[in-house]
Amino acid sequence: MPQMTIGRLARAAGVHVETIRYYQRLGLLESPARPPGGVRRYAARAVSRVRFIKRAQELGFSLAEIGRLMRLEDPHNCGTARSLASEKLALVESRIADLARLRGALTELIGRCNRRRGMQACPIIETLAGGQ
């Protein structure tokens, strides 16, 4: 099946039809010409394109970044791809640091709740209310 309809393409790639059309609107996927009064047919490599997008999303790239990544077919652009990936890595690392701080604060709050006795006020509510 070298040529398939949009529905088959969507199923093969594991996304919804609307998602394919959405990617076309964003310019991530080209839309084959429509034969007059007919239905568009997609080549098998369209499936790989969609999978590329999905894999890159899992690595934390936005659709806009994926567009840039996909315009880098030339292996000489490895430097550009690497710097996009490095930026993303830096972002991921700072996000991890933020979340680790958050985890510390929540753990501490929960611990204080557990050590609370009797009629004392709830440490979580107190802390949020500004008592710290």
Three-class SS of residue 4?
strand
The helix/strand/coil state of 70 is helix
Question: Which one of a second copy, DNA, none is in contact with 21 (Cβ closer than 5 to 8 A by kind)?
Answer: DNA
From 6-14, 70-78, 81-89, 109-117, span contacting DNA (CB under 7 A): 6-14
**Residue 3 per-residue DSSP state:** E
Of positions 14, 27, 34, 43, contacts DNA by CB under 7 A: 34
What is the number of other CB atoms lying within 10 angstroms of the CB of residue 123?
A: 18
Question: Which residue reads 């972002």 in tokens?
Answer: 91
Nearer to DNA, 41 or 123 (CB): 41
C-alpha to C-alpha distance for 84 and 82, rounded to whole angstroms: 5
Residues within the interface to a second copy (CB under 8 A): 48, 51-52, 55-56, 58-60, 69, 72-73, 75, 77-78, 81-82, 85-86, 88-89, 92-93, 95-96, 99-100, 102-103, 105-107, 109-110, 113-114, 116, 119-125, 127-130
